[in-house]
Amino acid sequence: MKGRDALRELLGAGKPEAAPNPPVHRSTGAVKAMNLGLQRLSEEAAAAKSLRATLANSEQVVELDVGDVDDSFIVDRISSESDPGFASLKSAIATHGQQVPILVRPHPGDPKRYQAAYGHRRLRVARELGRAIKAVVKNLSDVELVVAQGQENSERADLSFIERAVFASRLEQRGFDRETMTAALGVDKPELSRLLSVASSVDNELTLAIGPAPKIGRPRWLALVERLTEPSFRESANRVISSEAFAKADTNLRFSLVLGAQQIPTPRGKEPLQTVRGQRVAWVERTSKGIRLVSEDRAFVAFLDQRLPDLLREFESRE
């Protein structure tokens, strides 16, 4: 039984009426695979949306003391000092109250306690505000819990790529089979393999130092995995992690700083552009026709790209 079907049966949600069959188009190869993948992801999203609607309208919503509710036995988030989404959520709940209940199960190790399947940020908000938490209590097996936890995050597009990779790794370490893992993450087996590959290639210390990096997708994490195979790269990355610039950066910029850690040789005849700490980020070429700035430092390029609109406005505002 697929994860979404198990959740529908668990919550008593009826199977949605099938839509009229669209015209048949024969497709093969990559196009067929893409269509099947999109259809599966759409079904997973619909299942999770139906699940939330069932919970929101359930008559079995109860209020629990937050001191009696533990987090899921598998952590799916990477802690970050900066989480604007959490701050917004906390403000909304403080003003309007908790609108959507979380899903919990009776704690398998203590009948007087509960364990959250999902809604961990809402639970954290309730803890910080000193409020009770609205919840639906269901008897869930370990498999049902992680599928519910993963599908809710997948439908909300709430976890970053690296958080999904870490979640996949933790599921694997707990001994869950591939069917459960793909259902929980809403991915196919090839994508699951890529998630596990990244999680195993980037050590936990580096992952935690960077943080969730929500704007960094799979291609750039794969680029980092490739760079980690370079003998001298990790030493350069460690220097970046210990720098003041890294400590002040948000999680997305931290990733860029690490990815661009290794210094690039300056071409002959061009003036290097260096930070006060001696980090070479670009080189400058001055000619009779003007000036040219060239950089292959990914972090500096990302920074410069973000600042260009501000620089243009500053230029236009000159007297």
Same domain for 184 and 144: yes
Task: Give the residue numbers spanning the domain of 212.
Answer: 202-262
Domain count, the chain: 3
Nearest to 84 by CA among 269, 205, 251: 251
The encoded tokens of residue 261 equal 């850690």
For residues 134 and 122, what is the distance between their CA atoms, to the nearest angstrom? 9
The last residue of one of the domains, among 245, 262, 279, is: 262
On whether residue 24 sits in a domain, the answer given is no
On whether residue 19 sits in a domain, the answer given is no
On whether residue 25 sits in a domain, the answer given is no
Q: Which residues, 6+ apart, have CB-to-CB distance to 81 below 8 Å?
A: 211
H or E, element range at 61: strand 61-64
Same domain for 162 and 44: yes
User: Rounded to whole angstroms, what are the CA distances from 35 to 157, 161, 309?
Assistant: 20, 22, 39
Maximum Cα–Cα distance across the chain: 80
Same domain for 58 and 146: yes
Same domain for 166 and 62: yes
Same domain for 177 and 119: yes
Task: Output the pLDDT for position 200.
Answer: 92
Same domain for 80 and 224: no
For residues 249 and 107, what is the distance between their CA atoms, to the nearest angstrom? 39
On whether residue 129 sits in a domain, the answer given is yes
For residues 282 and 289, what is the distance between their CA atoms, to the nearest angstrom? 20
The encoded tokens of residue 59 equal 């008559």
On whether residue 181 sits in a domain, the answer given is yes
Which three-class secondary structure state does DSSP give residue 18? coil
Same domain for 156 and 36: yes
Same domain for 276 and 255: no
Same domain for 184 and 77: yes
Structure-token match 């990302």, residue found: 302
Complete DSSP assignment for 95-120 = HH---S-EEEEE-TT-TT-EEEEE-H
pLDDT of 61-98, one tens digit each? 899 999 999 998 887 777 655 556 677 888 889 998 99
Whether residue 212 contacts residue 77, with contact meaning beta carbons closer than 8 Å, is answered with yes
Same domain for 222 and 110: no
Same domain for 119 and 256: no
The last residue of one of the domains, among 179, 200, 221, is: 200
What does DSSP say about strands 133-137 and 61-64: parallel, antiparallel, or unpaired?
antiparallel
Walk along the chain (319 residues) and give the pLDDT tens digit of each residue.
444 554 455 555 444 444 455 555 454 444 444 455 445 545 554 555 555 555 555 458 899 999 999 998 887 777 655 556 677 888 889 998 998 898 999 999 998 999 998 888 899 899 999 999 999 999 999 998 988 888 776 555 567 899 989 989 999 998 999 999 998 888 899 999 999 999 999 988 899 899 889 889 999 999 999 888 887 788 888 888 888 888 888 889 999 999 887 654 445 567 778 776 667 788 888 777 788 888 888 888 888 888 888 888 888 887 5
Same domain for 248 and 176: no
* DSSP H helices in the chain: 3-11, 29-56, 84-96, 120-129, 142-156, 161-173, 178-185, 189-201, 204-210, 218-227, 233-241, 244-248, 251-259, 298-316
| Angle, vertex CA 214, rays to CA 212 and CA 215, nearest 5 | 135
